[in-house]
Structure 1
Amino acid sequence: MKHKEYMWAYLFVAAPILGFMLFAFIPISYSVYVSFTDYSGYKAPVLNGGDNYVRLINDELFWKTLLNTFYAALGIPIGMALALGFATALNQKIRGIRFFRTIFFLPTISSIIALTLLWKWIFNDTYGLLNYLLQYIGIQGPAWLSSETWAMPAMIIQGVWGGLGINIVLYLAALQGVPSSFYEAAEIDGGNRWDKFRHITIPCISPTTLFVLITSIIGALQDYPRFQIMTEGGPNYSTTTIVYYLFQNAFRYMEMGFASAMAWILGFIILAITVLNFYLSKRWVHYE
């Protein structure tokens, strides 16, 4: 009987492992080899040693796009703070609260293409909604998406809005898991609302904060579709992220070897940041 159960268990486990080997492990392993070659995707790869990595180090545009990526990631703490604030408000027991929770989560399940086009219209400097509202209160709005100064702040605003939904849901679940007895004990000790939030809420939801932080950073460092749609990386590469630059080299210029090398550099950067976050989390994340 046990032998039969083991057989079925191995069969169920084999499916995802086989899928990973075919669709992830093999392509990942092959990309390591390709990163050391001159490969256009049409002809057989030709080994060129570490030329692609040397070229990356000397490529000014690579460093600029990497800096752009981290610049865009500055919206992460803003988005996390807003998500926690909205989640705290949505955690109240008031009439119609489920409706507001649905409204905030709706962008998460909507088409990223549709939402990006909507924001492209909002930021339009001629007939966009944002500049119209600014003009209504006497402020001349900038050319959001065609200005090197304002294009990235506009993308940060859009990115913060787009990531609110899922983070609000995560924080809301964490807030509802905080024992009410903690707050009752704090009230007995004379703690006010700020004391309870700082000494009870924040420590209790710190594991969720760590999860949101890590996933947000990974997502931000791999972000590119909305940049392609809204600005096409412009003006003057001011909104070209490293993944968008990777995409251009791989599929526009057909330099697969160079793009693979870039992907591995980005992978190691993400790994290093993730490991650093887990290491530092020992100081501020509380699991009990």
Structure 2
Amino acid sequence: MEISTSPQVGSDAWAPGGRSTGGGAAGQDGEGDEQEGDGPAGHPVTVAAPPGRRRCRPDVRVHRWPRRASYGDGMDTTMVADLSEDELIASFVPLLPRGRHTLVPSGDDAAVVAAPDGRFCVSTDVLVEDLHFRLDWGDGADVGWRAAAQNLSDIAAMGAEPSSMVVSLVLPPTTSVAWVHDLSRGFAELCGPLGVGVDGGDLSAGTQLVVAVTVHGDLGGRRPVLRSGARPGDVVAHAGVLGHAAAGMALLASGRSGGADDGLIGAFLRPHRLHAPDPRER
């Protein structure tokens, strides 16, 4: 799938506070092509929506708030509200890995991924801020790693080889662009060495940060490993140490860290690295 944007995520949707500043946003059909909105100090800001694959007429014009300059101690404080959707996408897509099964990567209406087996496994999972993670528990790379790991593990549990994933994000307008870049790097750190591509997804504005991942895997001629196939005497394999990740999350929620606790916290933030199946096992 392409990196696409939901209709409400036109440039207007990134206005501070998530306020839509006008009528039809880019990507919507119908009336309301000219939108009204106020920039800083009440001055309207209007930019032309670029022609191309976005589903809008080339003459549609949308508003966005100008980019803020970085300030303070030199740390980049740019927020997603400061960029148009195209600028934001262009800033993080180069950080994402291309998989060995990816034939057409992100950028078209859909990605094309090879499925040599003729079958593929699919799994999906969602991480929600303040329910599954908090921004003060770690950085964006930790969230990206964990989001990838928990989806890749489902494919591995089926006896398949992960091949591709798509990622959908709900971003509050005040989300740091640097955090989004770190999130992308977290996906790349885990998926890249495994040859798994991040081949598109979706963006939406919202009040709470959400990371939703759908992963695909190839069975390589093997039969899927099903839960219903378990029999007494079978070997049950588990990567990592049971209970460590849950203990790490409990420690983070309680505000404790340091010393021996860091190992448990690490087990939660960066779950055990998966490895591609050995071709000799096929």
Q: TM-score, normalised by structure 2?
A: 0.22
More helix, by proportion: 1
Considering only CA atoms, is the larger Rg found in Structure 1 or Structure 2?
Answer: 1
User: Which one has the bigger strand percentage?
Assistant: 2
User: Which of structures 1 and 2 has the larger relative contact order (alpha carbons within 8 angstroms, sep 6+)?
Assistant: 1
TM-score with structure 1 length normalisation? Answer: 0.21
